[in-house]
């Protein structure tokens, strides 16, 4: 479970919550099947689809040398209807 770094909250990811899709950033070396297994095991949900794309790190200048931050992968996880990730569930009023 240490491969999933954090849940991404952007305008698009908040819109995707309506479709039962959750966005999270993971380490760039993780595979789709590995992440699917950990999400199903840890949260007790059923994953029906996963989309991913690789994001490159930002450039950082350190004096005359140019470096960059680490690359990472963003996963969009689609759950079966009726399932939700408990930490991101809406509050009922």
Q: Tell me the whole-structure pTM to 2 decimals.
A: 0.71
Assigned domain for 93 exists = no
Number of domains present in the structure of the chain? 1
Instruction: Classify 89 as helix, strand or coil.
Output: coil
The parent domain of residue 53 ranges over 4-86
Q: Quote the pLDDT of residue 34.
A: 86
pLDDT tens track for 34-70: 888 888 888 889 999 999 888 888 889 888 998 888 8
Assigned domain for 24 exists = yes
CATH number at residue 17: 3.30.70.330
**Whether residue 7 has pLDDT greater than 80:** no
Whole-number Cα distances in Å, 58 to 25, 28, 69, 71, 86:
15, 15, 5, 8, 32
């Amino acid at each position: 479970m240490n491969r999933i770094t954090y849940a991404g909250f952007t305008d698009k990811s908040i819109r995707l919550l309506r479709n039962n899709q959750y966005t999270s950033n993971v380490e760039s070396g993780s595979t789709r099947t590995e992440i699917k297994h950990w999400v199903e095991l840890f949260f007790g949900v059923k994953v029906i689809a996963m989309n991913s794309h690789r994001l490159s790190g930002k450039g950082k200048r350190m004096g005359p040398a140019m470096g960059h931050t680490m690359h990472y992968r963003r996963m969009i996880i689609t759950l079966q209807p009726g399932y939700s990730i408990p930490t991101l569930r809406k509050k009922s009023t």
